[in-house]
Amino acid sequence: MESYPAIEDHGLIGDLQTAALVTCDGTVDWFCAPRFDSPSIFAAILDRERGGYFRIAPHDVRYVTKQLYLPGTPILITRFISADGVAEVMDFMPVTGDLVTDTHRLVRMVNMVRGSMRFRVECRPRFDYAREKHDLERHPNGYVFRSRSATLAFNPVDPVRRLFSQRGDIRLEDGDLVAYGILNEGDTGGVVLETASTEPRIIPPAEVEGMFEWTRDYWRRWVERSRYTGRWREMVERSAITLKLMTYAPTGAMIAAPTAALPELVGGTRNWDYRYTWVRDTSFSVHALLGLGFTEEVSRYMTWLDERIREAGDHQDPLKIMYRVDGSSDLHEETLDHLEGYRGSRPVRIGNGAADQLQLDIHGEALYAMHLADEQGIRVSHQVWKSTVRLVDWLCHHWDRPDAGIWESRHHPRNYTFGRVMSWVALDRAIRLATRTGRPGDVTQWAEQRNRIYNQVMARGYHRERGSFVQAYDEDVLDAALLAMPAFGFVTPSDPLWQSTLKMIERELVSDSLVHRYDPIHSPDGLPGHEGTFNMCTFWYVEALARAGRLDDARLTYEKMFTFSNHLGLYAEEIAATGEQIGNYPQAFSHLSLINSALTLNDLLDVEADARRRR
């Protein structure tokens, strides 16, 4: 591999237990198995020399590439176009189902559409983040890569000669496989990689066709369940598919992103592992999924969240901010010093040390999700409610503590305004749940503490001289998280205090419609350097504009954001000053907030259109 592709020059495929990234030139440069948070098998995106990759591409041919998804699916098609011919590589992973398995298949099929091309196939796995050596075993019907902890079978698709012309065109190089083959118009060839397999075999074309049809039909049936018929339907559905791809089917938990250590600043140190389930992220997704009609996914996640609430409530502890997809909470952070990082962005981190931070806002997001789910008939059990009561009672006694905040500052704890606002949300939604369902709880105490929080935020969270709500008490720094205040009902969009806050955020954090989370120069977060604009904050800005009645501004800002997606409609975490996508990719925060913005803005535009027709 000669250079690092742009982060946005990747497509995502997956099987609902793990996922892989495929570049525009046909390279799988990120793949972990058997789970999203398992050690990598291919990680060239983090080190082009040492990380490992699997590439299928034309050899000694000048070509351009185009990439698209098969409509209504995450089946990825990479097209190679040259004067001599046109070929397509189709990549997908058959859905594994709800049962935990170590066996995962990555299907790569090549179809020669026109003319002929010579292809080079390189399979260079590097197990356990390139920390384990491996052997390559030749078998009668394929190959097996074997390391101390894992195996990977290389299964050619019949007829083998299509992609691997002759025995001499297949070379074993220090444990790696390199092969060549010529495809003529109408020819197809391919490979099925299979984890946890030691018996390679030649795959019949009919079996591959069956895997393809099953995968295609599964995703199209799933998408058809969406009840969204509003504007921007294609972008909304692609975001929904992306969120589904990042959901671990056996538990219903959604990861923040399928990647680790992609930088928020190229060459910088803000490189985190996002392959875990944040209570905040997935709770925000509940509104998006319910808005589209995906109640089954919400029900699965709420079952997972209920267990985390029981664990916290029964021990009278706060919720942890993140967990592994199976609900465990050991996320020990370490650095991989042998990897150079994406374009030299060190350190490469796996695990996440922020897991043990106190972040008070997550209780608000959890109760917000529980309240929304309850409105749709997804209700918690008696035992979970008892644990919820204990958790809310804990919050009544601890909401006034300094914490690390929504942005997971590694600086000293502070009295974050957003944390107080979301503590208000937690108590407010707990009161609504108890009142609506008639379940027991100390509603009097909850209401008293809710009111105390409200009065404190209004007294200390609003900076009179600045004319704005601010990031933390006794400070004057702005924070884009506060854009969500009207959506949670803490303030009304027409409130003068909110209107002046929106103006100040526009003045200081908005750049060409894109929104920074905060200014790290004036709000130290314990890390050097700066970062790009944060996609979720830009979508929050769209909602804030829409709720404030500025629908033209909201629509323009929203549609501008489409120009920053990649060619497949995918978003990373942030946008760099150059317009490139940066940070882990694709990012659940970005896609769920795109959906939530569409739901809000579409409804308000419909109301405006109805009003015009009546005039």
pLDDT digits (tens, 9 = 90+) for 40-65: 999 999 999 999 999 999 999 999 99
Query: Is the distance from CB of 471 to CB of 518 less than 8 angstroms?
Result: yes
Write the CB contacts of 226 (distance below 8 Å, at least 6 apart in sequence): 236, 237, 240, 292, 293, 294
DSSP string, 321-343: SEE-TTS------EE-TTS--GG
pLDDT at 166 over 70: no
Tens digits of residue pLDDT in 295-337: 999 999 999 999 999 999 888 899 999 999 999 999 999 999 9
Query: Domains of the chain, with CATH numbers?
Result: 7-204+218-222 (2.70.98), 231-614 (1.50.10.10)
**For range 76-94, the mean pLDDT:** 97
Tens digits of residue pLDDT in 543-570: 999 999 999 999 999 999 999 999 999 9
Banded pLDDT at 164 (limits 50, 70, 90) = confident
pLDDT at 530 over 80: no
Query: Is the distance from CB of 446 to CB of 392 less than 8 angstroms?
Result: yes
What confidence score (pLDDT) does residue 165 get? 62
Q: What's the Cα-to-Cα distance from 62 to each of 57, 410, 477, rounded to whole Å?
A: 11, 48, 52
Least confident span in 250-254, 348-352, 411-415, 502-506: 411-415
Q: Are strands 64-69 and 76-82 parallel, antiparallel or unpaired?
A: antiparallel
Task: Region of 252 please: left (phi>0), alpha (psi -120 to 50) or beta.
Answer: left
List 76's β-bridge partners, or say none: 69, 91
List 278's β-bridge partners, or say none: 322
Write the CB contacts of 506 (distance below 8 Å, at least 6 apart in sequence): none
End-to-end CA distance of the chain: 63
Query: pLDDT exceeding 70 applies to what percent of the chain?
Result: 97
What confidence score (pLDDT) does residue 522 get? 66
**For range 609-614, the mean pLDDT:** 91
List 145's β-bridge partners, or say none: 136, 152
Residue 601: how many other CB atoms lie within 10 Å: 24
What confidence score (pLDDT) does residue 1 get? 47
**For range 156-163, the mean pLDDT:** 86
Tens digits of residue pLDDT in 231-271: 999 999 999 999 999 999 999 999 999 999 999 999 999 99
What confidence score (pLDDT) does residue 524 get? 62
Residue 486 CA to residue 492 CA, distance in Å, equals 6
SS3 of 450, please?
helix
Distance of CA 545 to the CA centre of its chain: 25
DSSP 273: B
Tens digits of residue pLDDT in 337-352: 999 999 999 999 999 9
Residue 478 CA to residue 564 CA, distance in Å, equals 24
What confidence score (pLDDT) does residue 167 get? 57
- Using CB atoms within 10 Å of the CB of residue 593, give its burial: 0 to 12 exposed, 13 to 18 middle, 19+ buried: buried
Query: Is the distance from CB of 145 to CB of 134 less than 8 angstroms?
Result: yes
* Locus of tokens 């490469």: 348
What confidence score (pLDDT) does residue 519 get? 81
**For range 180-206, the mean pLDDT:** 95
Opening angle at CA 126, ends 322 and 105, nearest 5: 75
Consecutive H or E run containing 69: strand 64-69
**For range 467-480, the mean pLDDT:** 96
Alpha helices (H) along 225-294: 233-245, 279-292
Q: Which two tokens stand for residue 608?
A: 């405006």
Residue (of 250, 247, 209) closest to 100 by Cα position: 250
Query: pLDDT exceeding 90 applies to what percent of the chain?
Result: 92
What confidence score (pLDDT) does residue 609 get? 94
What confidence score (pLDDT) does residue 316 get? 86
Q: Which two tokens stand for residue 145?
A: 């890569």
What confidence score (pLDDT) does residue 209 get? 98
Query: What is the amino acid identity at position 308?
Result: R
Query: Is the distance from CB of 150 to CB of 157 less than 8 angstroms?
Result: no
Distance of CA 109 to the CA centre of its chain: 26
What confidence score (pLDDT) does residue 441 get? 97
* Locus of tokens 């050097």: 528
- The model's pTM is 0.97
pLDDT at 198 over 70: yes
Query: Is the distance from CB of 239 to CB of 536 less than 8 angstroms?
Result: no
If you average pLDDT over every residue of the chain, what do you get? Answer: 95
- The per-residue b/e assignment along 327-363, b for 16 or more CB within 10 angstroms, e otherwise, is eeeebeeeebeebbbbbebbebbbbbebbebbbbbbb
* Long-range Cβ contacts of 594-597 (<8 Å, 24+ apart): 594/235, 594/236, 594/239, 594/539, 594/561, 595/236, 595/239, 595/240, 595/243, 595/288, 595/291, 595/292, 596/284, 596/287, 596/288, 596/291, 596/539, 596/543, 597/539, 597/540, 597/542, 597/543, 597/546, 597/558
3-state SS, 99-138, equals CCCCCCEEEEEEEEEEEEEEEEEEEECCHHHHCCCEEEEE
Radius of gyration of the chain (CA): 25
Banded pLDDT at 571 (limits 50, 70, 90) = very high
SS3 of 611, please?
helix
Residue 123 CA to residue 130 CA, distance in Å, equals 14
Bond before 5 cis per omega within 30 degrees: no
Cα torsion for 57, 58, 62, 63, to the nearest 10°? -60
Q: Which two tokens stand for residue 542?
A: 């769209």
pLDDT at 361 over 60: yes
Tens digits of residue pLDDT in 106-157: 999 999 999 999 999 999 999 999 999 999 999 999 999 999 999 999 999 9
